[in-house]
Amino acid sequence: MISHAENELLCRVGPATQMGDLMRRYWVPAVYPPDLPSPDCAPIRVRLFGENLVAFRDSAGKPGLIKESCPHRGASLFFGRNEEAGLRCVYHGWKFDTAGNCVDMPNEPAESDFKAKVKATTYPCIERSGIIWAYLGPPSEQPKELPGFMSNLLPDDHVFVTVRVQQSNYLQALEGGYDSTHVGFLHSRLDAPADARDSRQLMMQDKRPRFAAVQTDFGVMIGARRETGSDQAYWRVNLFLMPFYHMSPGTPVGLQRWNAWVPIDDETTLRWVVAWQADRPISEADLAPLRHGDSPAWGLLTADDYAPSNTLPGGRWRTKANLANDYFIDRTVQRTKTFTGISGFLTQDQAVTESMGPLVDRQHERLGSADLGIIAARRRLSQAARALRSDGTPPVGVLTPEAYTVNSGSVMLPRDADWVAGVQDVVVLRAQSSQS
Amino acid sequence: MISHAENELLCRVGPATQMGDLMRRYWVPAVYPPDLPSPDCAPIRVRLFGENLVAFRDSAGKPGLIKESCPHRGASLFFGRNEEAGLRCVYHGWKFDTAGNCVDMPNEPAESDFKAKVKATTYPCIERSGIIWAYLGPPSEQPKELPGFMSNLLPDDHVFVTVRVQQSNYLQALEGGYDSTHVGFLHSRLDAPADARDSRQLMMQDKRPRFAAVQTDFGVMIGARRETGSDQAYWRVNLFLMPFYHMSPGTPVGLQRWNAWVPIDDETTLRWVVAWQADRPISEADLAPLRHGDSPAWGLLTADDYAPSNTLPGGRWRTKANLANDYFIDRTVQRTKTFTGISGFLTQDQAVTESMGPLVDRQHERLGSADLGIIAARRRLSQAARALRSDGTPPVGVLTPEAYTVNSGSVMLPRDADWVAGVQDVVVLRAQSSQS
Amino acid sequence: MISHAENELLCRVGPATQMGDLMRRYWVPAVYPPDLPSPDCAPIRVRLFGENLVAFRDSAGKPGLIKESCPHRGASLFFGRNEEAGLRCVYHGWKFDTAGNCVDMPNEPAESDFKAKVKATTYPCIERSGIIWAYLGPPSEQPKELPGFMSNLLPDDHVFVTVRVQQSNYLQALEGGYDSTHVGFLHSRLDAPADARDSRQLMMQDKRPRFAAVQTDFGVMIGARRETGSDQAYWRVNLFLMPFYHMSPGTPVGLQRWNAWVPIDDETTLRWVVAWQADRPISEADLAPLRHGDSPAWGLLTADDYAPSNTLPGGRWRTKANLANDYFIDRTVQRTKTFTGISGFLTQDQAVTESMGPLVDRQHERLGSADLGIIAARRRLSQAARALRSDGTPPVGVLTPEAYTVNSGSVMLPRDADWVAGVQDVVVLRAQSSQS
């Protein structure tokens, strides 16, 4: 339903692309902190928006993100020595700090030393609540604050973060987030569990919700209205937050969460799931129900569920269940127990969105009313990318971190109520946050 | 010996290519029935002429062939639920029957349901005698009947079918079929077996036959004449049948057979071998001599001889012996027992034709008189493709299924006899079949 | 520091490229003799300058190098029968001798036999002192003699040759050869070994040498001058010899050596190390100190150190430690014992030069005074390639094999001495060799 050119605009995120330039205006989740466990630990390879980088943590524990190829002759800084406040190339010993300054050039005589003139490309990093964020845009445009996600406002131990690599373009994965009706199919069981909670009962009762979407100061708010058989309607709110975030109503247990699909390159994405609770630290008891189960559990992963690959970008976080093995689909289970025969909510999402191919062609789609939110989000993204390119308009949310202090949720409202007003208390977590 | 452009015309079979369009005018072997063992069994991925499809068998046992990507948003129907007379996408539950009708759209409210407007691309299928045939061309041009191969006129149990994937373009593999002189080399033994049959003795006695070729209503009939040391000449007849079939004189045992090399895409092909006998069912005793032996056995395969790959198209039928392991060539055997050191007739064929590369460049060939049939078949193919493109001329055989009711064979003829007349009784199995 | 176009000129070596044409004017190391252990042994695949070839050794022990695809219809001669003074294609039995003559065409009748008109592409080979050399250029320009490396003037048992595949363009690997300052870093230990020899002590004492380079009749001579704290300067001489050779001052033990990085294709290279001593055969005792140690040993390999790959060109000689496994880098060793944590001098070289990517982009380099020799060698290569293309000027060294009778070495010279004159006795091994 969109042209090839529009699809390219939306999907291509490499250097100098419109969408890549847009995304580089935001602080983005860049490095998963467990990959850099301690000061002066081994550096790791990171690819973001098609650019090859190396992440390291210096002697003071400060994270750095530096272009992979050494400015001198291009050897990979991945093999570098991480020592005494900088990363030293093993080829000729040139050393760089987290700001990209060349702080040592030990193979040149004093009279020809030109380290003051050499600067490596680096990007500023901020570590907060389980994520190392980075800013890859023009230095003069760097936003002062991280997006105001609740998780960024809470102590670290109130937040729990996981990642997994997605072998597809970011957009088709992201669209699986605020695509509300798939939950009643993709993630459903054939046998209704006896302990199904109210919200699931309400969702399963009406699998054909009606949708509405409004533009907001963070992106798009999407409402799905379900009939309940009474004079009340059940509204569930999904949020698309620029440029690649999503929130949907909470988990069966008490945790809230948001998702990010951060482009590694055009055909690979790192999916982040950030869970948080406002009132107390997250305990293993909070997480247990989210592990492994088919449904309604998310299928959170343990180390044993990953099959690291050194050749796939982001391959440290490749899941064992992946496209090459059809996600271990069990056709008997599919016939008798679950809709897909694939284990785990997140893996089910991954399966359908990766199965579209590395970068889906949207020319032949047949979108319906259930895709209203998807259409609105695409428009928001492409308009913002065009506005940035044509006259430098800063993308929405970049200058207003408080816009991200929101949440998804669900409410019962009178049948004729204004849903946007009705969900305000649930969605907006800070007084200063407002709709545009 | 042919230009790059002519080679491209002959070899490229994807959507909108001239040769692809030609092939899509025929009913073609599309799915190996053991891959769809029962009603509502798991769907499988199929690629044909470069197009990604999913094959399934509905609740009534009817085979279906549907475009892989769901018309809605592109999720793969391979993960679909095959149930109650249709294939249901696991993403949002849209369901399609074998005719491509959207028979359920369960995520849309009644007022916005548009299933009547949605049609998936599907192709008609007919299952007969061990093959699921499909027609991928324009609906208005669909031939009424399958090609009249003898196997299609016999009960199922008179026919035995095997498949294997070939990692090359179809044409170089197909040309190995009616390339008669290679038999005396590629498939030969260094030690003449004591029990060699007459036909092999005659072939080995004169490894330099003389060739003739005539155009027919199915394609090209190629005669190879060998001297016998008497006043009789030994004629063997190979048939090229449009667009990718071949018949050569029968096996050492009583079975007759035909071969098809059906393009999966430009660089991958599914080789079909269809064996039949007219007078009685094929028993395991009939097949035993064809299994595994170096020569004269074909080297028919058992399940143990395949090494399925989930990434290679058609990879369910990849043989363990393949190019990546040099077909387990044994150089000692090659020095002492067989001409190649590679086990199995069909693997020997596969080895030499795959070794040319994925799509051989024919600009630098040096063809001889032994290649007469190959030259004639290429001309037939390219002329037909051009005629179809230029003025819509239906390719030969499409409208005359009885033209395929033929067989290859060999005869002894007086030295000066007209070979074409002389082989008629052997080749033409139906009275109504005639040469053009 | 060089333009994209200049980089392409320097790096691309396939058929009809300027640099490929230049290299084809030289006799080059082509086949490692242990790959062809005996007369009529199995043929092997060889790729050189992007051209697919098969090497074999005929019944008389003479090596042959023939285009892989059979002139007839393109089957790979790799599967050929190597027998009775020629290589016979297994498809139809055509047979070729090492000169490319078609000496048998057994599938054609006498009257249509055209073997006299068929010639396979072959390249002349000369086997000497552990290397099969080949000439791939125009026959009329074939140099009469091999380059006069000392190893080519000595008995076979005075020479020891090893190979390994490098997964990158030749030039970035070659440049690691005459890049003198990297030795003090890449190959260094954190713990100075008690038995360090004088030359290493001198090198480690001044890691910031000053460089000078002069053009010679073999390529470029590069001098690195180190201060010693006395009135003597320590000069080490590296040689770049056209088109892809390198010599650096000898090993810790008595062996001398030279290196070649011969392009397999644009992104794969075969690294040759040729060790020699003039006065006596090389014994295992001579080699022992060069095996496996971290430093100062080279890390010579045994059969157990290779992980042959049938899909990588030149993959017979792929090392177990390679980019896909980060060369088994041990970060603890890197922190505590050696500069890289990677074992073996040659693997350390391979790691940094492969880590630049398959073909490094040199547009953003920041070269210093330590890169003087690299700059001079690039200029020499590109000027020679341009001169050959524009007016057919034969490249330097092609017509003067004696220019290669040189060696690298090191000397102590008075601080103000002319280094070029001062190193003559060390570098020039033959009276007739002279500087241009």
Size of interface A-C (CB pairs under 8 A): 95
Q: A15 in helix, strand or coil?
A: coil
Task: Please indicate if any CB of chain A lies within 8 Å of the CB of C173.
Answer: no
Averaged pLDDT, A26-39: 98
pTM: 0.94
Best of B91, B94, B117 to mutate (most A CBs within 10 Å, chain A): B91
pLDDT reported for residue A177: 93
Please tell me which residue, A407 or B431, carries the higher pLDDT value: A407
Closest CA to A422 of A410, A435, A404: A410
Token code pair at residue C163: 């190979």
Chain A environment of B311 (Cβ under 8 Å): 324
Task: Please indicate if any CB of chain A lies within 8 Å of the CB of C334.
Answer: yes
pLDDT reported for residue B232: 93
What is the β-pairing status of strands C409-414 and C268-276?
unpaired
Q: Which helix (H) or strand (E) holds B125?
A: strand B125-128
Least trusted range by pLDDT, from A119-123, A275-279, A388-392, C389-393:
A275-279
- 3-state DSSP percent of chain C in helix, strand and coil, to 5: 30, 25, 45
Cα B296 from Cα B187, distance rounded (Å): 8
Residues pairing with C69 in the sheet? C76
**pLDDT at residue C436 greater than cutoff 60:** no
Token code pair at residue A126: 């901020």
Chain B environment of A369 (Cβ under 8 Å): 108-109, 112
pLDDT reported for residue C268: 98
- 3-state DSSP percent of chain A in helix, strand and coil, to 5: 30, 25, 45
Q: Under a CB-based contact definition with an 8 Å cutoff, are residues C174 and C359 in contact?
A: no
A172 vs B91: CB contact, 8 Å cut-off? no
Over the stretch C364-423, which tens digit does the pLDDT of each residue have? 999 999 999 999 999 999 999 999 999 999 999 999 999 999 999 999 999 889 999 999
Token code pair at residue B149: 């191969």
pLDDT reported for residue B435: 38
pLDDT reported for residue C200: 66
Nearest chain C alpha carbon to B190: C81
Averaged pLDDT, B2-22: 97
A207 vs B107: CB contact, 8 Å cut-off? yes
- What is the pLDDT confidence band of residue B217, given thresholds at 50, 70 and 90? very high
Looking at chain C, the whole-number percentage of residues with pLDDT higher than 90 is 82
Task: Please indicate if any CB of chain A lies within 8 Å of the CB of C362.
Answer: yes
Over the stretch C248-263, which tens digit does the pLDDT of each residue have? 986 656 789 999 999 9
Cα A349 from Cα C170, distance rounded (Å): 44
pLDDT reported for residue B286: 86
By the 10 Å C-beta count (0-12 exposed, 13-18 middle, 19+ buried), A283 is classed as exposed
Cα A107 from Cα A151, distance rounded (Å): 46
A92 vs C209: CB contact, 8 Å cut-off? no
Cα A268 from Cα A173, distance rounded (Å): 10
- What is the pLDDT confidence band of residue B436, given thresholds at 50, 70 and 90? very low
Chain B environment of A348 (Cβ under 8 Å): 90
Buried b (16+ CB within 10 A) or exposed e, B300-334: bbeeebbeeeeebbbbbbbbebbbeebbebbeebb
Mean pLDDT of chain C: 92
**pLDDT at residue C82 greater than cutoff 90:** yes
- What is the pLDDT confidence band of residue B433, given thresholds at 50, 70 and 90? very low
Q: Using the structure block, give the residue that is written with the tokens 């050869």.
A: C177
Closest approach of B113 to chain A, Cα-based (Å): 8
Averaged pLDDT, C314-319: 94
**pLDDT at residue C357 greater than cutoff 50:** yes
Over the stretch A317-333, which tens digit does the pLDDT of each residue have? 999 999 999 999 999 99
Cα C276 from Cα C282, distance rounded (Å): 7
Q: Which amino acid is at B268?
A: T
Over the stretch B237-271, which tens digit does the pLDDT of each residue have? 999 999 999 999 866 567 899 999 999 999 999 99
Q: Chains with 3 or more CB pairs closer than 8 angstroms to A?
A: B, C
Over the stretch B104-133, which tens digit does the pLDDT of each residue have? 999 999 999 999 999 999 999 999 999 999
What is the number of other CB atoms lying within 10 angstroms of the CB of residue B61? 12
Task: Please indicate if any CB of chain A lies within 8 Å of the CB of B310.
Answer: yes
By the 10 Å C-beta count (0-12 exposed, 13-18 middle, 19+ buried), B184 is classed as buried
Least trusted range by pLDDT, from C116-125, C281-290, C395-404:
C281-290
Closest approach of A130 to chain C, Cα-based (Å): 25
Looking at chain B, the whole-number percentage of residues with pLDDT higher than 90 is 81
The alpha carbon of residue A229 and the mean position of all alpha carbons in its chain are separated, in whole angstroms, by 36
**pLDDT at residue A51 greater than cutoff 90:** yes
Best of A68, A72, A73 to mutate (most C CBs within 10 Å, chain C): A73
Please tell me which residue, B433 or A165, carries the higher pLDDT value: A165
Averaged pLDDT, C59-72: 98
Closest approach of A308 to chain B, Cα-based (Å): 19
**CA geometry: angle at C209 spanning C206 and C211, to 5°?**
165
Laid out side by side, the sheet with A125-128 consists of A27-31, A131-135, A125-128
The alpha carbon of residue C65 and the mean position of all alpha carbons in its chain are separated, in whole angstroms, by 19
Looking at chain B, the whole-number percentage of residues with pLDDT higher than 70 is 93
Q: In this structure, what are the phi and psi dihedrals at residue A426, rounded to the nearest 5 degrees?
A: -75, -40
Cα C196 from Cα C202, distance rounded (Å): 10
Q: Chains with 3 or more CB pairs closer than 8 angstroms to C?
A: A, B
Nearest chain B alpha carbon to A327: B79
Q: Which helix (H) or strand (E) holds B82?
A: strand B81-82
Q: Under a CB-based contact definition with an 8 Å cutoff, are residues B396 and B242 in contact?
A: yes
Q: Which amino acid is at A201?
A: Q
pLDDT reported for residue B296: 44
Closest approach of A296 to chain B, Cα-based (Å): 16
Cα C122 from Cα B131, distance rounded (Å): 47
pLDDT reported for residue A251: 61
- Interface predicted TM-score (ipTM) of this complex, two decimals: 0.94
Closest CA to C125 of C50, C32, C12: C32
Please tell me which residue, A337 or C292, carries the higher pLDDT value: A337
Mean pLDDT of chain A: 92
Interface of C with B in 384-423 (CB under 8 A): none
Task: Please indicate if any CB of chain A lies within 8 Å of the CB of B37.
Answer: no
Best of B350, B356, B378 to mutate (most C CBs within 10 Å, chain C): B356
Closest CA to A56 of A20, A99, A26, A15: A99
Q: A427 in helix, strand or coil?
A: helix
Closest Cβ–Cβ partner in C184, C324, C351 for A107: C184
**Residues A415/A418/A423/A428 CA torsion (nearest 10 deg):** 180
Mean pLDDT of chain B: 92
Nearest chain A alpha carbon to B311: A324
Over the stretch B274-333, which tens digit does the pLDDT of each residue have? 999 999 999 988 888 777 554 445 667 778 889 999 889 999 999 999 999 999 999 999
C79 vs B352: CB contact, 8 Å cut-off? yes
C107 vs B182: CB contact, 8 Å cut-off? yes
Cα A138 from Cα A24, distance rounded (Å): 8
**pLDDT at residue C349 greater than cutoff 90:** yes
Task: Please indicate if any CB of chain C lies within 8 Å of the CB of A309.
Answer: no
Closest CA to B92 of A329, A246, A366, A300: A366
Averaged pLDDT, C265-275: 96
Cα C245 from Cα C240, distance rounded (Å): 6
Nearest chain B alpha carbon to A334: B81
Closest CA to C169 of C310, C324, C355, C311: C355
Please tell me which residue, B345 or B98, carries the higher pLDDT value: B98
Q: How many helices (H) and strands (E) does chain A have?
A: 11, 19
Token code pair at residue A274: 């950030």
What is the number of other CB atoms lying within 10 angstroms of the CB of residue A262? 24
